[in-house]
Chain A
Amino acid sequence: MQTLTPQRRRELELRANDVRQGIIRSLLAAGSGHSAGSLDMADVFTALYGFILRHDPQRPDWPDRDRLLLSCGHIAPVRYSAMANFGYFPLDELLTLRKFGTRLQGHPERVKLPSVETTSGPLGEGLAQGTGMALSAKLDRKDWRVYVVCSDAEHQCGLHMEAMMTAAKFKLDNLMVIVDRNFIQIDGSTEEVMPLEPFAEKYRAFNWEVFSCNGNDIGEFIETVRRAQAVEGKPQVIIANTIPGKGVSFMEGDYTWHGKPPNKEQADVALAELAAAHERLLAHV
C-alpha cells in the first residue's frame, strides 16, 4: 500500500463527505432504509475504495481484484454511494435505491450488480462466504485479498462463529474482517440485547489477530489496515469503533436511526450540515 500523505488524506475526507451526502439523498428518495450504520461506515468505505482496495471500476470482473464483501447488507446505501463516488456507476443512479427495476436492491444482490461480490442481507453470512473466497485465492496461489465488513450485532449469529473457526483453521492471512462496532442494533444497545463483550477476546480465542481503531478517522483506519496486512498465518479483524449516524448531528448516537430514513425536512438539515462540513474541509486543502 502507498503512503497516505496529508493531502491525500484530506481528499479522502472530502470524498467521505460526498459519500454521506449520497447516502442521505438515496435514503430520502427511497423512503426507507438504514441511516445510522450507513453513515458511520462512510469513512471506512471511502478508505477502502479510495485507497486500500486493488480494484478497477471499469473492470469490475477483473479476476485479480481484491474482494470486498458487505456482510450486513442493510447498510448497502454506504456501499452504493461509495461505488458511485468512485466511478462504478453514475451518482444519479443512487436515487433509484430500493425502487422497482433498480440494480440497487434494498439488500445487495450479486446477480443484479456483480461488483457487490455477493448477495447479503440475512445476517452473519458474509464472513463465511469471504472465507470461501480467501481459501480459493490460497488454493490458486493468488495474491488478492478479501475484506469483509460486518456489523457488531452479526456476531450474535452462529454461522459467523463457524466462519471464525474455519478461517483460522485454514490460516487465511489474506482475509480481513472490519467490524462496525457502533453498539447499536434494531432493538437497542448490543450489550442489552445480547452482550458481545469481551469482543476482542472472542477473536483472540479463535486464533485471530485483533486490531482496533477509530473507524471514523480515515488516517487511523488506513494505518491499522496496513499493520493488519502484515500479519502472516492468521486472519485479522479490525474493530472499527464508530459513532452511529456519524456526520449528522441529530442522528449521532441514537439507535432509533438504525432502520429508518430521514424525511424531507430532516434530509435538508442533514445535507446542510454536511455541506458546511465540506466547506470547512475545503478550507484546509
Chain B
Amino acid sequence: MSSTLVDYRNNGALKSVPTRNGFGEGLIEAGNRDRNLLAICADLAESTRMEGFKKAHPDRYLEIGVAEQMLVALAGGLAATGKIPWIASYAMFNPGRSWEQVRTIMALNETNVKIAGAHAGVSVGPDGATHQAIEDIAIMRVIPHMTVVVPCDAIQTKKATIALSERFGPVYLRFAREKSPIVTTESTPFEIGKAQTFREGNDVAIVACGILVYNALVAADELAHEDGIQATVINNHTVKPMDEAAIVDAARACGAVVTVEEHQVHGGMGSAVAETLAAKAPVPIEFVGVQDRFGQSGDPSELIEYYGMGTPAIKDAVRRAYARKRG
C-alpha cells in the first residue's frame, strides 16, 4: 500500500464523507485565492455544496433558477470577459441537459468555465433513474478541449476543485452524493492528468475512478488473500487528458486490466482505457460498470452491488481477466 494512503483496511480508522463536501470546501478555498472566481447554481445550492461559497463570498455567488442551458451559456459570457465561473447542478441536468451548450459555448469557444456535476452515479439512491447520471463521462470526454476529472474521495475532490480552478479551459468535475470512504490524506499528491498507483501487484491492473477506488482496493486485498492474485490498483482520476503512459505501463507489467467506474461500461473511463490499450498495449480487459441499463430507486450500497460494481463483482472481473491472460 502506498504510504500516502490512510489505513483503509482498518475499519476503525476509516472515515466516510461525501465527495460533494470536498467540492464545497475546495470552492471556498479557490475563491479565496482568486477574486475572479464566481459560483453559479441552478437551484441546488445546498445539495451541490455551493452553499458554503454563497456564505463565504456572497457578492460572487449567482442563483439563476432551474435553467441548466442558461447556466452554461451565462457562464460562457462571464468567462469570455475574464471571470472563472464554476457552475453546479446534478450531473444528470448539467451536462445532461446542456450538452450542446457545453460543446459550443465552453469547448469550441474555448472558455474558462468549470462544471461541477453532482449526484453522479447510481449511488444517488432513492431518487431513481431520472437523477442517476451514468452517461456523463462519455458525453464529456468525447468533446475536444474538455478536461474530465473524477476524484476518488472528498479530500481529493477538494484538491481537484482548487487545481481545476487554476487550470485555464473547460472542465468537467464529477462527484457523488453519498458518504464514501476517504482513502487519501491531506498530503497525498494530486496532479491533473497524473494517475496514481495506490497498490502494487503484477498479476492484474485494476484501473478505477471515483468512489469505487475504495472498492477496488478492498477487492485487491481480498483477492491476494483468497486467490493469491496480486493486483495493482490505479486511481485514474483524470479521464481526460488521461495518463496514457501510466495505463500502458501497468498493462504491460500485469498483462491484464480491469476497469472500474460508476458509469455505463460504454463510452466511459473504461472505454478510454480500452482505446489506449488497443492501440498501444493490447491485453485482456474486463469492464466493471453499469451494463447498458438504467438505474432505479434503492439504497446506494444495494444499488452498487445490484448493478455489478461491488467488491464481489470486481473480484470476479479480476479473476476473469487473470484467467484470460493465462489462456
Number of interface residues of B (CB under 8 A): 25
- Which residues of B sit under 8 angstroms from A110, Cβ to Cβ? 80, 109-110
Q: In the assembly, what is the distance between CA of A257 and CA of B64, in Å?
A: 38
Q: Is the interface of B mostly helix, strand, loop or mixed?
A: helix
The answer to whether residues A132 and B78 also contact, given A125-B101, A125-B104 and a CB cut-off of 8 A, is yes
Option from B62, B64, B105 in Cβ contact (under 8 Å) with A125: B105
CB pair B105–A118 under 8 Å, yes or no, is yes
Determine if B108 is an interface residue (Cβ-Cβ < 8 Å).
Answer: yes
Interface residues of A in 119-137 (CB under 8 A from B): 119, 121-122, 125, 128-137
- Which residues of A sit under 8 angstroms from B65, Cβ to Cβ? 165-166
How many residue pairs at the A-B interface have CB separations less than 8 Å?
Answer: 90
Determine if A111 is an interface residue (Cβ-Cβ < 8 Å).
Answer: yes
Determine if A273 is an interface residue (Cβ-Cβ < 8 Å).
Answer: no
Option from A67, A117, A121, A128 in Cβ contact (under 8 Å) with B74: A128
CB pair B77–A131 under 8 Å, yes or no, is yes
* B132 to A: closest C-beta gap in Å: 24
Most buried by A among B62, B67, B81, B100: B81
CB pair B101–A159 under 8 Å, yes or no, is yes
CB pair A133–B104 under 8 Å, yes or no, is no
The answer to whether residues A166 and B105 also contact, given A117-B80, A136-B82 and a CB cut-off of 8 A, is no
Determine if B75 is an interface residue (Cβ-Cβ < 8 Å).
Answer: yes
* A159 to B: closest C-beta gap in Å: 4
- Which residues of B sit under 8 angstroms from A169, Cβ to Cβ? 64
CB pair A122–B82 under 8 Å, yes or no, is no
* B282 to A: closest C-beta gap in Å: 36
* A263 to B: closest C-beta gap in Å: 31
CB pair A118–B101 under 8 Å, yes or no, is no
- Which residues of A sit under 8 angstroms from B79, Cβ to Cβ? 132
CB pair A166–B109 under 8 Å, yes or no, is no
- Which residues of A sit under 8 angstroms from B83, Cβ to Cβ? 136, 139
Determine if B76 is an interface residue (Cβ-Cβ < 8 Å).
Answer: yes
- Which residues of A sit under 8 angstroms from B81, Cβ to Cβ? 67, 132-133, 136-137
Determine if B70 is an interface residue (Cβ-Cβ < 8 Å).
Answer: yes
CB pair B104–A166 under 8 Å, yes or no, is no
The answer to whether residues A128 and B78 also contact, given A122-B100, A122-B104, A159-B101 and a CB cut-off of 8 A, is no
Determine if B218 is an interface residue (Cβ-Cβ < 8 Å).
Answer: no
CB pair A162–B78 under 8 Å, yes or no, is no
Determine if B73 is an interface residue (Cβ-Cβ < 8 Å).
Answer: yes
Interface residues of A in 73-110 (CB under 8 A from B): 109-110
Option from B67, B70, B100, B108 in Cβ contact (under 8 Å) with A109: B108
Interface residues of B in 86-124 (CB under 8 A from A): 100-101, 104-105, 108-110
Q: In the assembly, what is the distance between CA of A118 and CA of B67, in Å?
A: 21
The answer to whether residues A162 and B67 also contact, given A125-B104, A136-B82 and a CB cut-off of 8 A, is yes
CB pair B105–A159 under 8 Å, yes or no, is no
CB pair B70–A162 under 8 Å, yes or no, is yes
CB-CB nearest in chain B for A119: B109
* A167 to B: closest C-beta gap in Å: 10
Determine if A158 is an interface residue (Cβ-Cβ < 8 Å).
Answer: yes
CB pair A125–B80 under 8 Å, yes or no, is no
- Which residues of B sit under 8 angstroms from A129, Cβ to Cβ? 73-74, 76-77, 80, 105
- Which residues of B sit under 8 angstroms from A119, Cβ to Cβ? 104-105, 108-109
Determine if B21 is an interface residue (Cβ-Cβ < 8 Å).
Answer: no
Option from B67, B69, B80 in Cβ contact (under 8 Å) with A132: B80
- Which residues of A sit under 8 angstroms from B100, Cβ to Cβ? 122
Q: In the assembly, what is the distance between CA of A239 and CA of B107, in Å?
A: 32
Q: In the assembly, what is the distance between CA of A136 and CA of B82, in Å?
A: 8
- A interface residues, Cβ below 8 angstroms from B: 67, 109-111, 117-119, 121-122, 125, 128-137, 139, 158-159, 162-163, 165-166, 169
- B interface residues, Cβ below 8 angstroms from A: 62, 64-65, 67, 69-70, 73-83, 85, 100-101, 104-105, 108-110
* 3 smallest beta-carbon distances between A and B, as pairs: A132-B77, A128-B73, A129-B77
